A and B are shown apart, each in its own frame.
Chain A
Amino acid sequence: MSLLPDLKSAGVMGINSRNGDYIMRYNPRRLFPLVDDKLISKELAIQNGLPVPELYGVIRMLHDIRKFEQLVAGKEDFVLKPVHGSGGNGIMVIGSRSRDRYRTTTGRILTRDEIAHHMENTLGGQFSLGGQPDQVLIEYRVKFDPVFDHVSYLGVPDIRIIVFKGVPVMSMIRLPTRSSDGKANLHMGGVGAGIDMRIGITTNAVVGTSPVHEHPDTGSPVVGLKIPHWEAMLDIAARCYEITGLGYLGVDLVLDATLGPLILEMNARPGLNIQIANAAGLLPRLHFLECLELDGLSVPERIALGKEATNRDPREVTRMAVA
């Protein structure tokens, strides 16, 4: 065992453990469509009074593409999203327009035909899991809070919070870089910065798996960043448990300059890089919560528990779970 790094005492959750011990146990498969279908999750959030970017319209089939102009009439900017997309693929963000030319926030000028082609591809399933036919969602483009301007290269930074049985347990902010093409996607080279659950300040940051202190493009520090509306974000994340019923859930939030935190999407199989961004394993916190009776707790009580779980020393809690 000494040949391999000691991940167990560090409380790191591996893929097998996530799939076998958490997703399979706490996320019933029948609930997956609630988060995999962005249209359903948006409607679910609206019904329950949780903030989401406003929906302008849905392109359901090729025939609907002609309605596109009509749907975005009077909107200076908007976002096209595949309903079943994952990992930020297939998202097109239009920042401005002049007659039939559209300009993406990354600076590409697109004609109406090019946008139509993109929508056709999306409908054909290019961005959906397994290539099944998909739909296009047209929604409000988040005017992201300038508070993150100095740590983002184009694109929108987003905040991912892992919620275990309604308790927000770990979070990070994902900052777009030049190499991630303006997408807040760690997989493509974005910065991931772990957030202290108790105070909403970033404590550690990585690109890929290597630690960083400054944003690779802007040079501003990414550690010690204060996240505005932190308590509101925790509140929204905790409530997402009730509306989906998923016990192991990832909630992605964005911060709008005027509207505050908005739910971007939810994920029933949140990844494990959040642990690298936090330089902390998920298991100590989850084991701590698994020893408690969480049913019937109010949202503020659960948020408080999530903050308490942060204090857990990996070794101590691992022992507890074993005993």
Chain B
Amino acid sequence: MNRRHTYILAACLFLAGASLFLYKVRTLGLPLDAAQETEVWTMEAHVSFHRDSVGAAKAYLRIPENPFGYRIASENFVSRGYGLTVDERANERQALWAVRKVSGEQSLYYRLSVYADPTRKGSLPKPTFPKVPELEEPYYSAMMDLTSHVREQSADVLTFTSALLRRLNDPTPEENISLLRAGARTPMQRSKLAVTLLAGARIPAEIVQCVRLGEDRRMAEVMPMLAVHNGDEWIYFDPQTGELGFPSDLFPWAWGSKPLIDVSGGRGDMVEFSVVRSLQPTMEIAQERAASLGSKIPEFSLLALPLRTQSVYGVIVMIPLGALLVVLLRNFIGIRTVGTFMPVLIAIAFRETQLLGGLLFFTLIIVVGLAIRAYLEHLRLLLVPRLASVLTVVVILMTLVSIASHRMGVDTGLSVALFPMVILTMMIERMSVTWEELGARDAITEGIGTMMTAVLIYLVMGVSVLRHVLFVFPELLLLILAATLLAGRYTGFRLTEYRRFKAMAAEQ
């Protein structure tokens, strides 16, 4: 009954801890590696136009919304003197700058930081089948002729589109193509033509206006991509080459063929894009993203604490891990230690004294402290005053050792702080009690066991990946708790008992 209860509790804790952990890794993208960096693209759209006389001006800029394959880390607008509204209509997201009185050269900026996230899908709804466009003759016949030809040579939407694009871009076009292509010179016009022709075959297609990413591009190219819906999903084609697939260096800025800017009250309006690539800590990006997703988790994270408190918690979250190690060493291996969690405290003390220096220093002080204790026994002092005397002598010793080592110029390894001092005196007190109760042998065995355990815990606590992971994902403490609970139900033999009871072992 108790056993099952423990298992169920451990399983619940495990599930709770693991699911929160996975949520934070998968959805919020918190990194497992503290030093991990993400490639961030910062794009700037520069809208410029000229207003000859003083008067009102208005400029629309289409801006990205849920770009597939990317996540928006941050965005901001720079527009001195202009009022700004952002129109959040679905698939029509745009910024509107407006001013009452202005003249001369005008510059408006929109800056956007994104990073790649292949899990992101666009949010465009499934399109309906388009009507066959009503073109004038002879264009209509040319279109119908072309589509029926292409249909004969293709099996599905994908092959139809590639075949169509191949013909459309043929350097030595056939008659129909020449006719249709006559008015379409720019890539944008070609793409519009492709959409029209695809509609002639009742295939839904859309244009995606893209910005080309690259290392520090002052004048980033804007180019259209052709998106075709095959009934299940959008597939992408380069309208100029007919190549299938969305290139990794393109950023989908806006859907549809509608121009990216629309300026009223000015002339010579244009938009230019520049791109800068940079690396940013994944940690920061994930936090920003979590905040932008409206998740409350960043607010309840240890990272939200003041820095000083954070550094303390960085150590505290490691304590349960140390405690679990003590459980394993004691209940599974059978190592004896002074006090139950003294090794954990000593391991923390080692963090301040450094391992080797701390180990030497602790051993020296403990040996001398116990020698003094043995000497004081001759004076027949009562127990508590005797322990107090030992502690006083230990403190004197520690100061002497520190002063002496400083005089000799070897104080690097002995940066003794308050905490190790306290732990040291506690350790000597506990060892003295063991010495009184069980004798020297036990006290020394326990002392050595404690030191070994402390060193092991210190080394484990020093693994920076563990520290980062436990700090960023404190819910993993639930997993540690589950493991500890399960360890608490272990009633098998300890490793040392195999030696103790060796003579009794059954013949194998």
Q: Which residues of A contact B (CB under 8 A)?
A: 2, 4-10, 12, 14-17, 19-21, 86-87, 89, 117, 120-121, 124-127, 129-131, 187-188, 206, 209-211, 272, 275-276, 279-281, 314-315
Contacts and interface: CB of A to CB of B under 8 A. Distances in A.
B500 A209 contact: yes
19 contacts: A2-B508, A7-B498, A8-B506, A10-B504, A10-B506, A14-B493, A14-B497, A14-B501, A15-B334, A17-B493, A86-B437, A87-B438, A121-B382, A125-B383, A126-B383, A209-B503, A210-B503, A276-B501, A279-B504
Contacts of B489: 20
A315 B508 CA distance: 12
B436 interface: yes
A14 B508 CA distance: 19
Contact of B497 (A7, A9, A125, A280): A7
B439 interface: yes
B383 A16 contact: no
A276 B505 CA distance: 11
Contacts of A121: 382-383
B85 to A, nearest CB: 69
Nearest to B383: A124
A183 to B, nearest CB: 11
Nearest to A278: B504
A9 B498 CA distance: 13
B494 A16 contact: yes
A120 to B, nearest CB: 6
A71 to B, nearest CB: 21
A28 to B, nearest CB: 14
Contacts of A120: 382
A57 B404 CA distance: 54
B439 A188 contact: yes
A281 B436 contact: no
Given A16-B331, A20-B489, A20-B491, 19 more contacts: A5-B502, A6-B507, A7-B497, A7-B498, A7-B506, A12-B493, A12-B497, A12-B504, A14-B492, A16-B493, A16-B494, A17-B491, A21-B491, A120-B382, A126-B437, A131-B383, A209-B503, A276-B503, A279-B504
Contacts of A6: 505-508
Interface residues of B, number: 29
Contacts of A126: 383, 436-437
Contact of A15 (B433, B494, B506, B507): B494
**Shortest 3 CB-CB contacts between residues of A and residues of B:** A5-B505, A124-B383, A9-B506
B497 A127 contact: no
B380 interface: yes
B155 interface: no
B384 interface: yes
Contacts of B488: 20
B439 A129 contact: no
A211 B503 contact: yes
Nearest to A122: B383
B490 interface: yes
B491 A209 contact: no
A15 B330 CA distance: 11
B493 A209 contact: no
Contacts of A5: 498, 501-502, 505
Interface string B473-494: 0000000000000001111111
A12 B380 CA distance: 44
A178 to B, nearest CB: 16
B331 to A, nearest CB: 6
B380 A117 contact: yes
A87 B442 CA distance: 13
A119 to B, nearest CB: 11
A68 B491 CA distance: 47
A12 B491 contact: no
A136 to B, nearest CB: 14
Contacts of A314: 506
Contacts of B503: 206, 209-211, 276, 279
Contacts of A86: 437
Q: Which of B494, B502, B505 has the most CB of A within 10 A?
A: B505
A106 to B, nearest CB: 16
A188 B441 CA distance: 10
Nearest to A281: B504
Interface string B376-404: 00001011100000000000000000000
Contacts of B506: 6-10, 314-315
Nearest to A314: B506
Interface string B239-255: 00000000000000000
Interface string B429-441: 0000100111100
A127 B437 contact: yes
A77 to B, nearest CB: 24
B504 A14 contact: no
Contacts of B497: 7, 12, 14-15
Contacts of B491: 14, 16-17, 19-21
